[in-house]
Amino acid sequence: MSLRHDLRKFDKTHMTQATEAVKATRGSTPPIRTFETVANHIRHRIAIGALKPGDKLAPERDMATQFKVGRNAIREALRDLEGKGILRLEKGRSGGAFVRPPNASRVTHAITDLMDGGSISLSDLTEARVLFMETVVKLACERATESDFAALEKNIEETEEFTKAGNAELRIERIGQFYTLLAESTGNSVFVLMATSLSAIVRRLLDQAADSNKRGLPTTVASRRRFLRFLRAGQVDKAIAELSDHLVKLHQTLVRFLEDLEKQAAATKRSPGKSRKQPRSS
């Protein structure tokens, strides 16, 4: 039975309500707002090479005149592009808006937008991640050096340390960093970009889930140690199987988290008069 079939079967069983909720929120495409028109123009200029990494954009007043809009619309467009990792905004006399080099956050935002809009499902994301990491593992088995293995080992040790200390935030951060380190061992910068981006998307889903930092996640440290042992030994198939199994289990956990979110949202909607919940301790 294929991976896609397994993932979709699991999703269908556990996410029916979530899917219907997403469909219910879809409506007609809203009109493009003024700041979006400005942001899209800047993105287009970057895409065709008219603006390159490090270039400084024109001052706000000049851009407002060029686009025949208010300066508030220019500021909103710049903040939007900063949030997507496309621009870097600096204050001061020598400050301004600067084009950033390609980075993982731009890929993360693009995929996240598609997921939020329902164009990409969680099963699509997991299937792509599993197959992508298979390629990464194959190259890592060929190219990883002792320093790469040492970095992965240190990451596992820190993951175990933060797990024992109950520091969920740093634990999840190290878990995501593991994929970046693994991709770095291939020497392929595109793989590093993609691995970092996919991990960031999953991290966002975990952060959104109700009490996700306090809920059980698939056992990570033991699996990581087995994986690294297989990787060092050049046992490609076993290394791939170990990592793929972990990613599928994580997928199943995320589905349950998201299902819980839908149930909580439904319960809140049915009981709008209930007193506000006490904030969780940080």
- Domains of the chain with CATH codes: 34-101 (1.10.10.10), 105-266 (1.20.120.530)
Phi, psi of 120 (to 5 degrees): -120, 130
Q: What is the mean pLDDT of the chain?
A: 83
Overall average pLDDT of the 210-235 stretch: 78
pTM for the predicted model, two decimal places: 0.65
Residue 276 has pLDDT above 90, yes or no: no
What's the pLDDT band for 166 if we cut at 50, 70, 90? confident
Which pLDDT band, with edges at 50, 70 and 90, does 86 fall under? confident
Residue in the block written with tokens 């520091």: 167
Strands (E), the chain: 87-90, 96-99
- The predicted-structure confidence for 116-163, as pLDDT tens digits, reads as follows 888 999 999 999 999 999 999 999 999 999 999 999 999 999 999 988
Average pLDDT of 70-82?
Answer: 92
Three-state secondary structure readout of 63-104: HHHHHCCCHHHHHHHHHHHHHCCCEEEECCCCCEEEECCCCH
Strand partners, 90: 96
